Chain A
Amino acid sequence: MNASRPDFATLTNGQAVKRSEIPVLTPEVFGQAILDGVAARQRVSALFGASSPIPGATRIYAVLADDEQNLLSAAATDIAGGEFPSLTPRCPQVHLFEREIAEQFGLRPIGHPWFKPVRYCRSWTGRDAWGRPAGQPILPAVGDFYRVEGEQVHEVAVGPVHAGVIEPGHFRFQCHGEQVFHLEIALGFQHRGVEEELIGGPNARTVHYAETLSGDATVAHATTYSHVIEALAGCQASARAQAVRGIALELERLANHIGDLGALAGDVGYLPTASFCGRIRGDFLNMTALLCGSRFGRGLIRPGGLGFDADADRMAELGRRLDAGEKDATVAIRLLWDTQSVMARFEEVGPLPRKVAAELGIVGPAARASGLERDVRRDQPSGIFCFSHIPLSTCESGDVFARAFVRWLEIQHTIGFIRDQIRSLPSGAPRVPVKALAPDSFAVALNEGWRGEVCHVALTDAQGRFARYKVVDPSFHNWPGLAYALRDQEISDFPICNKSFNLSYCGHDL
């Protein structure tokens, strides 16, 4: 399929259309179009259920990203009854999406090869895809896990509470001695029911939900949310606001990438970089705090523009801190590449081959480390990234080293980008008024957060309220990549593999 195929409506990033313009296809045509699109190197950015005008039915929407043509496309299908044909056997990247639809709407994906809950919660419709009785409590990570049988095979279970200061999740390893045959990851412990509560918004809480979908990606999610609102309200943030949003997004990337490189160093026992980067990460968080008072960018991004404007003195100070931070980070991170013992631990560990990364629909630095050229800032640009381009950073080997090195390349490019923005900050209102949202509309926005593609899709009702608000955190695409990367690895390499992806639990669990 190419994006102009008539059965999918084409859109650009940050565009709103009437819901009536989203074609409603038969399940067969809908499914085939997704398979054809993915075969033509498109990606599934979102696949989700919503209510349908047909009583008793569920409407499933798909948003595909065509990175080569810089276009998005969307369509829907109505599923009457309690099941739909699973696409997962022919399109692995939809497997978690289908499990999510099953869990939220009680629909069974027929033919799904690994049909388990995603977040261990009740469905929104009262219908249960697994036929669990209503009164029976649903316990997280309780159920069958993939098992390898054999005399010398053993199982290792870790979590939900982990040894470090980190979010909860459950990991099941099938091991033969030290060697991991299979890792299965069960999440949902961070599930706090945000998507369900977003329905009926926007209200006083909505922007705060956007800021806390994944706290370490506050700017990425709040910007994406603002793009959705601005699309639906038919307004645009000023060039100045867009530039500051871009600066904040890139500061978020810097803080996290630098922190990750330090944490990777710590996990292989290389303490100089671990301790330097731990501190330097804080310096970058404090640069975000310089802009808005919060180290995580709370309050900075608001629909219509910015919560806080950036005056000239502040920008000059940011420039000075950026220079100092760059110097410290460069010295600290270069040590990694010059240290044989570190490289020996990074190289050829946790490989994710390019072909597998493509099939699983991996996004962000993890995808680029496996040689996939995908980056929303380049492929589906919005805001400042329409005018100012950041070179794409890729690596080929797909191992821990590649995921670390791609971060280092991105750190360097991103610092240059911020410097350019500071130098040429356009004038303009920090915030423009936001009118009521268009009724019966469909809007989608994407941004390249530091972990990869953040995708939000909103459907409004006749009053301009959210009938559905879908959030896809990059972690939702990438957790299966981590599980795959562990195959045939030593179980003792799990920490560095995990850190090299550094995925969000709360962004996945919502």
Chain B
Amino acid sequence: MINILLARLQQKHRTMKYPDGAPPPLPDRFRGRPVIDTAQCPEGCRACADACPTGALDPQDPGRIDLGKCLFCTDCAEACPKQAITFSQNYQLAARSRKDLLVARERQAAEVAAAALDAKYRKLFGRSLKLRQVSAGGCNACEADSNVLGTVGWDLSRFGLQFVASPRHADGLLVTGPVSRNMALALKKTYDAVSDPRIVIAVGACAISGGPYIGHAEAGNGAESIVPVDLYIPGCPPNPLTILDGLLRLIGRIEDDINFQLSTRNAQLPSKNP
């Protein structure tokens, strides 16, 4: 017993102050919201779109990145001859609608943060939102960094947010993975087992668009093919801070705008392929 108490003293109090205090520091090589300076693009250049593994850059119109498909891999930035694409430290990536995930130069000022649920839902879920996680064909990293929010450092339950064991106890689903063919029915049944009103959160490129598996015969292109989605949290996987930011915006605990200050500090790019 004395050992447990000594260990407890040694381990200290570790729950972060965020969102009342500063967010936990992100690594300097963290790759957040991309910034594209299309003014620099040479005429007809498609180097970034050709390098992109998921088609997040539209080959017809490179210069727009679909965050829903983006793996934040920086292959595009590496391929760019002009360094027109950079990745910022901005982690506030979640959005309430699929089209809000588009990053383009002319839209930069208009990029909108995820809005809170409307008044009726907020009254129901704002102080207590229980989620059933459904993992449906991804690589397990999105689950891992959602699950980590339950540890003492993040302490998700202080916001009334909790992962629960049964859809019958849940107010909504948190879906990861592109929805493999073999999980489509299970996802549908789990959704049906949650009573109305319910919400669905898609975490990670897979669950939003299929991610690295876009277009596979054995996997769907995200949760939306099976269930309606209320919140999209991009990343491969999203940093836990990105997931928490999205969840807190949804329940109305964070309402400030996207911090574009963060967008000016560029993350380091990987060493170029010589």
Contacts and interface: CB of A to CB of B under 8 A. Distances in A.
A218 B27 contact: no
A191 B181 CA distance: 8
A332 B52 CA distance: 43
A140 interface: yes
B92 interface: no
B60 interface: no
B177 interface: yes
Interface in A176-222: 188-194, 196-197, 204-205, 208-209, 211-216, 218
Contacts of B50: 204
Contacts of A309: 271
Nearest to B186: A160
A307 B212 contact: no
Contact of A192 (B150, B218, B274): B218
A168 B187 CA distance: 11
A357 interface: no
Contact of A197 (B178, B182, B216): B216
A276 interface: yes
A193 B73 contact: no
A166 B132 CA distance: 11
A338 B4 CA distance: 10
Given A204-B52, A208-B73, A299 B145 contact: no
Contacts of A168: 134-136, 183, 186
B153 A282 contact: yes
Given A121-B218, A289-B30, A431-B274, A189 B183 contact: yes
B54 interface: yes
B261 interface: no
A275 B213 CA distance: 34
A335 B270 contact: no
Interface in A117-168: 119-121, 139-140, 160-161, 163-168
Nearest to A429: B274
A205 B75 CA distance: 10
A475 to B, nearest CB: 11
A165 B148 CA distance: 10
A266 B14 CA distance: 19
Contacts of A213: 139
A190 B51 contact: no
Contact of A190 (B14, B72, B180, B273): B180
A308 interface: yes
Interface string A490-505: 0000000000000011
Interface stretch (A14-22, A49-57, A290-298, A364-372): A290-298
Given A168-B183, A193-B218, A215-B237, A279 B14 contact: yes
A384 interface: no
Nearest to B167: A161
A505 B271 contact: no
A335 B3 contact: yes
A432 B274 contact: yes
B74 interface: yes
Interface in B73-129: 73-75
Interface string B1-24: 001101110110010000000000
B268 interface: yes
A73 to B, nearest CB: 32
B141 A216 contact: yes
Interface string B170-196: 000000011011110110001000000
Interface residues on A, range: 35 or more
A214 B29 contact: no
A65 B183 CA distance: 35
A505 B185 CA distance: 18
B166 A302 contact: no
A121 B181 CA distance: 9
A166 B180 contact: no
B35 to A, nearest CB: 16
A332 B143 contact: no
A218 to B, nearest CB: 7
Contacts of B268: 293, 308
Interface in A441-459: none
A272 interface: yes
A306 interface: yes
Contacts of B138: 190, 192, 212, 215, 506
B270 A307 contact: yes
A304 B273 contact: yes
Contact of B27 (A293, A298, A304): A293
Contacts of A281: 148, 151
Contacts of A161: 132, 134, 167, 186, 190
A454 B249 CA distance: 40
A214 B267 CA distance: 26
Contacts of B4: 272, 335
B262 interface: no
B146 interface: yes
B144 A298 contact: no
A166 B165 CA distance: 11
- The winner among A278, A434, A504 for most chain B CB atoms within 10 A is A278
Contacts of B142: 215
A234 interface: no
Nearest to B219: A192
A327 B11 CA distance: 9
B49 to A, nearest CB: 10
Contacts of B177: 190, 192
A334 to B, nearest CB: 8
A328 interface: yes
B135 A191 contact: no
B143 A165 contact: yes
- The winner among B6, B140, B152 for most chain A CB atoms within 10 A is B140
Nearest to B163: A165
B217 interface: yes
Interface string A321-342: 0000001100110110010000
B229 interface: no
A282 B151 contact: yes
Q: Which 3 A-B pairs have the closest CB atoms?
A: A215-B141, A293-B29, A193-B218
Given A204-B50, A505-B140, 6 more contacts: A192-B177, A196-B218, A204-B75, A279-B153, A291-B29, A431-B273
10 contacts: A165-B146, A190-B138, A212-B139, A218-B139, A282-B151, A295-B239, A304-B273, A335-B3, A335-B4, A335-B7
Interface of B: 3-4, 6-8, 10-11, 14, 27-31, 50-54, 71-75, 132-148, 150-153, 163, 165-167, 177-178, 180-183, 185-186, 190, 211-213, 216-219, 236-237, 239-240, 267-268, 270-274
